[in-house]
């Protein structure tokens, strides 16, 4: 089996769509699904996910080969259309310079080892964080994979109410089910040519304390160890795990009441009144809470964001779509960790939950 076949077999996501990394002259970057009609005048209407003329290019051997050569970087979507996945990955990163991803990765690896769940660690393309992968014998419901991963992360004391600052960022897939408005979150395909030259996006040897890649990567991929759905079921039963997704958009209160409740939050009110002072990632945290309002949340996202110095409709639409595909609104804990000093004690875990409070 050649390298392209191994990549397709191990890192298997959706085959009908694939994204490619881009970087603009002004420093903005991201991934966009490869579309046959991109930038065609009168046909292309960004953003892609709301464009009626989108004609997505499927994942091909040629695209993977160019990825391995370093000609471009691909992103794959792990959540399949039936809400199952072939693998689940965890992201550990140090965006602010005050986290310890190497410590968290080792703790997570040890817990997986005790539970006899094979896990593989890769250095991210930036070299500042890690991605961990657990592969399955056959596609498993995403909610099961995510529930068990959260259970393992808690067991490793990487996440939890009593945990110190953690480098854990998110899971891939980051939702139990597709929202119907997107494809779920994507993850960079490993083994990217340019990054691999520096030992990044390659599977790391635990014997080196996850500092060096295995010497024979392709033989390792050919013999990758996988986890069964029955193993997940056993842990779900033993630990009494539940689905993690929050179902939004089913509020019984009128929208005006929901907005009024949300504005009781110091953070939401601050964002509305001082948008020019709201930095990333708090701007996105705002949007992830506002989209909870149905209908009208999308409009509020734009209204609250217009005073931001970097505001433009296209980027705000992209944030809205990203939030719709995420696992739910950003929590109060996340907002505090990223710089907002909230003195309130509302008794909720996220601003959006105020709309449920009696």
Note the pLDDT tens digit of each residue in 120-149: 999 998 888 999 999 999 999 999 999 999
CATH classification number, 79-184+192-239, choose in 3.40.630, 3.90.920, 3.40.50, 1.20.140: 3.90.920
Mean local confidence (pLDDT), 226-246: 88
- What confidence score (pLDDT) does residue 149 get? 96
Long-range pairs, 269-272, Cβ under 8 A, ≥24: 270/340, 271/304, 272/304
The more confident residue out of 137 and 318 is 137
- Burial 149-188, CB ≥16 within 10 A → b, else e: bbbbbebbebeeeeeeebbbbebbbbbbbbbeebbbbbbb
- What confidence score (pLDDT) does residue 165 get? 66
- What confidence score (pLDDT) does residue 170 get? 86
Q: Model's pTM, two decimal places?
A: 0.71
Provide the pLDDT confidence category of residue 325 given band limits of 50, 70 and 90.
Answer: low
Judged against a pLDDT cut of 90, whether residue 83 lies above it is answered with: yes
Note the pLDDT tens digit of each residue in 189-200: 999 999 999 999
Cα–Cα distance between 54 and 126 in angstroms, integer?
31
Residue 224: DSSP 8-state: -
SS3 74: strand
Cα–Cα distance between 318 and 276 in angstroms, integer?
19
- Burial 22-39, CB ≥16 within 10 A → b, else e: eeeeeeeeebbbbbeebe
Which of these ranges, 26-30, 53-57, 69-73, 302-306, has the smallest mean pLDDT? 26-30
- Please list the residue range(s) of the chain that carry CATH number 3.90.920: 79-184+192-239
- What confidence score (pLDDT) does residue 44 get? 84
Mean local confidence (pLDDT), 147-161: 89
In contact, 182 and 124? CB cutoff 8 Å: no
In contact, 174 and 258? CB cutoff 8 Å: no
Mean local confidence (pLDDT), 157-169: 74
SS3 132: strand
Judged against a pLDDT cut of 50, whether residue 247 lies above it is answered with: no
For 261, phi then psi, to 5°, come to -65, -40
Judged against a pLDDT cut of 80, whether residue 1 lies above it is answered with: yes
Q: Which two tokens stand for residue 269?
A: 């009110």
Cα–Cα distance between 186 and 90 in angstroms, integer?
12
> Hunting for tokens 């929202």 — which residue is that?
179
- What confidence score (pLDDT) does residue 256 get? 57
H or E segment and range at residue 136: strand 130-141
Burial class (CB within 10 angstroms; exposed 0-12, middle 13-18, buried 19+) of 2: exposed
- Looking at every residue in the chain, the average pLDDT score rounds to 86
Cα–Cα distance between 208 and 199 in angstroms, integer?
13
- What confidence score (pLDDT) does residue 328 get? 67
Provide the pLDDT confidence category of residue 329 given band limits of 50, 70 and 90.
Answer: confident
| Beta pairing partners, 33 | 19
Strands 130-141 and 187-188: unpaired
The more confident residue out of 333 and 259 is 333
Note the pLDDT tens digit of each residue in 173-189: 988 888 766 788 899 99
Judged against a pLDDT cut of 80, whether residue 111 lies above it is answered with: yes
Note the pLDDT tens digit of each residue in 55-68: 899 999 999 999 99
- What confidence score (pLDDT) does residue 49 get? 66
Q: What percent of the chain has pLDDT over 90?
A: 50
Q: Which two tokens stand for residue 96?
A: 């602010």
């Amino acid at each position: 089996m050649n390298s392209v076949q191994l990549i397709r077999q191990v890192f298997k996501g959706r085959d009908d769509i694939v994204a490619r990394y881009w970087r603009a002259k002004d420093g903005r970057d991201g991934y966009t699904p490869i579309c046959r009609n991109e930038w065609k005048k009168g046909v292309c209407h960004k953003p892609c996910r709301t464009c009626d003329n989108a004609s997505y290019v499927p994942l091909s051997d040629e695209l993977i080969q160019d990825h391995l050569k370093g000609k471009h970087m691909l992103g794959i979507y792990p959540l399949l259309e039936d809400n199952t996945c072939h693998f689940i990955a965890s992201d550990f990163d140090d965006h602010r310079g005050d986290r310890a991803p190497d410590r968290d990765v080792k703790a997570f690896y040890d817990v997986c080892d005790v539970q006899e769940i094979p896990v593989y660690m890769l250095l991210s393309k930036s070299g500042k964080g890690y991605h961990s992968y657990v592969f399955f014998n056959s596609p498993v419901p995403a909610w099961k994979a995510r529930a068990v991963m959260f259970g393992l992360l808690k067991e490793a004391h990487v996440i939890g109410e009593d945990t110190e600052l953690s480098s854990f960022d998110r899971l891939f897939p980051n939702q139990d089910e597709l929202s119907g408005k997107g494809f779920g979150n994507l993850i960079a395909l490993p083994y990217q040519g340019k990054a691999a030259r520096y030992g990044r996006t390659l599977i790391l040897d635990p014997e080196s304390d996850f500092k060096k890649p295995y010497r024979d990567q392709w033989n390792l991929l050919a013999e990758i160890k996988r986890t069964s759905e029955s193993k997940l079921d056993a842990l779900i039963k033993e630990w009494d795990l539940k689905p993690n997704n929050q179902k939004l958009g089913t509020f019984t209160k009128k929208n005006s009441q929901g907005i009024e409740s949300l504005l009781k939050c110091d953070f939401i009110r601050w964002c509305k009144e001082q948008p020019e002072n709201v930095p990333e990632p708090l701007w996105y945290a705002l949007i992830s809470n506002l989209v909870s309002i149905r209908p009208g949340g999308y409009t509020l996202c734009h209204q609250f964001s217009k005073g931001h110095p970097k505001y433009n409709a296209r980027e705000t639409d992209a944030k809205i779509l990203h939030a719709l595909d995420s696992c739910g609104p950003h929590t109060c804990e996340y907002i505090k960790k990223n710089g907002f000093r909230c003195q309130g004690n509302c008794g909720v875990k996220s601003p959006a939950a105020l709309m449920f409070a009696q």
